[in-house]
Amino acid sequence: MHPSACTCGPRPGAPTLRRERPAALSTALPAFLLVWVLVLMLGTAALPAAAQATQAAQAGPAGAAGEVAVADYTLGAGDVVRISVFQNPDLTLETRIPDNGVISYPLLGHVRVGGRTVGAAEQVIADGLRAGNFVKQPQVTLTVMQVRAHQASVLGQVNRPGRFPLEQADMRLTDLLALAGGTTPMGAEVAVLSGMRDGQLVRLEVDLVALFGPGGRVNDPIVRNGDVIWVDRQPLVYIYGEVQRPGQMRLERGMTVMQGLAAGGGLTLRGTDKGLRVHRRDADGRVQVIEPRMDDLLLPGDVIYVRESLF
């Protein structure tokens, strides 16, 4: 035999590379498929929790328009609430809280939610569903659709007077004034808050201008259920005689006699600042006529009279 005949083919019984490759692939392929199926199963199981976390992050503290989702809000009679359980649409309930604060909830029966915060009411319902083996891991969401239990009134010189819901436990006087559209141009710089605190009637005068100064937030009182905020009309002073624009004017803070004359347009050609008179009522209601200096402060209700010059 020629020597080349021994090297042109494989030896008898020796495996070839073409036969080993399919065997290796057939062994690795089932293991690869098993790992892929496990990854898909774990990812699918995590989707509901991830989706819920994404929805909660997008929703923020408040839901749709008109809904209140503040955890520290205390529920009360008259509030309209909607209760839902994640992945359990049959447990969704929208109802008005009665006077006794007890609602009828599916599977649990009577549940007291009045007097509890939103977070506490959610926890009570979740604990009941878990204890009764109705839902293994209940995720309860309670949304206040309408606030009727906690309201306060804003009256007087505001753009939209009326009753407004207290949607948070720490709503302050400035928050209610903002809901009322702010004060009118004739509104005073002081608001009066009246209400009950610890069974006692309180009356608090709040300087609105000082609230926006350094540390003003500390003096911004928290409004409680049933409080009334009153914004009076800004005090007026009056000017007549030889001035360009006689009539009434708004008394600004720290306004002097000279500033009052300037607000009246100044003197006419026949007017004089000599013999200037201010008519002012005293504590007994009697009118006093005084001769002020130009830097004297004006008081609410003062009447300035500018005389005519004799020359």
pLDDT range class, residue 66, cuts 50, 70, 90: very low
β-bridge pairing 236-241 and 303-306: parallel
Contact predicate 119/143, CB 8 Å: no
Mean pLDDT of all residues in 93-105: 95
Q: What percent of the chain has pLDDT over 70?
A: 77
49 — alpha (psi -120 to 50), left (phi > 0) or beta? Answer: alpha
Is the per-residue pLDDT at 155 higher than 80?
yes
Structure tokens at 299: 């008081």
pLDDT at 188 over 80: yes
CA angle 262, 264, 269 (to 5 degrees): 85
**Which of 284, 274, 169 lies closest to 223, judged by CA?**
169
Per-position DSSP letters for 218-266, written without gaps between them: GGSPBP-TT-EEEEEEPPEEEEEESBSS-EEEE--TT-BHHHHHHHTT-
C-alpha 67/C-alpha 77 separation (Å) is 17
Domain with CATH 3.10.560.10 in the chain: 151-233, 236-306
List every span in the chain annotated with CATH 3.30.1950.10.
Answer: 80-146
Pick the CATH number of 236-306 from 3.40.50.300, 3.30.70.141, 3.10.560.10, 3.40.50.720: 3.10.560.10
- The helices-and-strands tally (H runs, E runs) of the chain is 4, 15
User: pLDDT tens-digit profile of 202-233?
Assistant: 999 999 988 887 777 778 999 999 999 999 99
Top-level CATH class of 151-233? alpha beta
Give tens-digit pLDDT for 106-137. Answer: 999 999 999 999 999 999 999 999 999 999 99
Q: What is the mean pLDDT of the chain?
A: 81
The residue-averaged pLDDT of 232-252 equals 94
CA distance 131 to 32: 42
Residue 223, phi then psi, degrees to nearest 5: -90, 135
| Predicted local confidence at residue 167, as pLDDT | 81
pLDDT tens-place string over residues 18-60: 444 444 444 444 554 554 545 445 444 443 433 333 333 333 3
More confident call, 25 vs 191:
191
Rg (CA), the chain: 39
pLDDT at 14 > cutoff 50: no
Topology annotation, domain 80-146: wza like fold (3.30.1950)
Q: Locate tokens 């995720």: which residue?
A: 139
Considering the entire predicted model, what is its pTM? 0.64
pLDDT at 2: 44
> Does residue 247 contact residue 260 with C-beta atoms inside 8 Å?
no
Beta strand pairing call for 109-112 and 303-306: unpaired
- Residue environment code for 204-239, b if the CB has 16+ CB neighbours within 10 A, otherwise e: eebebeebeeeeeeeebbebbeebbbbbeebbebbb
Per-residue pLDDT, 31: 52
Half-sphere exposure in the Cβ direction for 124 (13 Å, CA):
19
In this predicted structure, the answer to whether residue 264 has a pLDDT above a threshold of 90 is: yes
